[in-house]
Amino acid sequence: MKKVILVGSILLTVFPVYAKSQLYSDVLVGNTKSDFMAKYVERGGDSEFRFSNEASFGSSPGFGFGLGYQLNQYFALEARYIENGTSSIIHPDEFDEGTEEKLETSSINLGARFSLPLIEGLNVSSRVGLASWDIDVTITDLSLLNEPFKVDRSGEDIYWSLGANYAITNDLSLGLEYSELTMDYQNSSTFSGFTTTADVELNVNKYSLLAQFNF
């Protein structure tokens, strides 16, 4: 909710509301796939161990909304809020229980859209900018009744997307979009004299249907 309030404030202040003919809003719904990769370094005394881990979370439905300001035929500035939904993965043990990880991610995206008209009404476009993201991970031991372990991370990284849209009317266009955001962060923990550091990459890929409304 805090992010929704924040992006609402940005949408009201970033763009000049007096230029109504150049403002547009969009909404999008789609499917998200998240891939996880971590490189670990474990140090203790004179010992050092290195290992890595990769996993793919299941897909999840997501949505987004935003506001843009069209500077000219080819270039626009945008602010968007993106919610990627909840996905999960189970790491089984020899008793077919193990642990379950649930992942939730969201971001506020501020950036630019570059458009190229192909034929009348049809445009291809690309987006690039800075995403301020949040990650919430809930880890549950399926063999125990204890409380789940939760990890929260946040940061900023570059996002990009490619898409196309077709103008149905002067005020409405429909389109498709593929977007990608890689969230980089680091974890560190110490146990029994050993310190483990993990460099983590979470690659979030999203396919979306979008509708754009021109003011």
Specify the CATH number for the domain of residue 25: 2.40.160.20
How many structural domains comprise the chain?
1
Task: Tally Cβ neighbours within 10 Å of residue 28.
Answer: 22
Q: Is the pLDDT of residue 21 over 60?
A: no
The secondary structure element, H or E, covering residue 9 is helix 2-14
* 107 against 49, higher pLDDT: 107
pLDDT-derived band at 93 (thresholds 50, 70, 90) equals low
Per-residue pLDDT tens over the stretch 134-166: 999 888 876 666 677 788 889 999 999 999 999
**11 falls in which pLDDT band (50, 70, 90)?**
very low
Classified as helix, coil or strand, 98 is: coil
Per the structure, the complete domain to which residue 24 belongs is given by 2-87+103-139+153-214
157 in a domain, yes or no? Answer: yes
For the cut 50, the answer to whether the pLDDT of residue 47 exceeds it is: yes
111-125 b/e (C-beta count within 10 Å ≥ 16 → b): bebebeeeeeeebeb
**Tokens 């923990």 correspond to what residue?**
189
Model's pTM, two decimal places?
A: 0.80
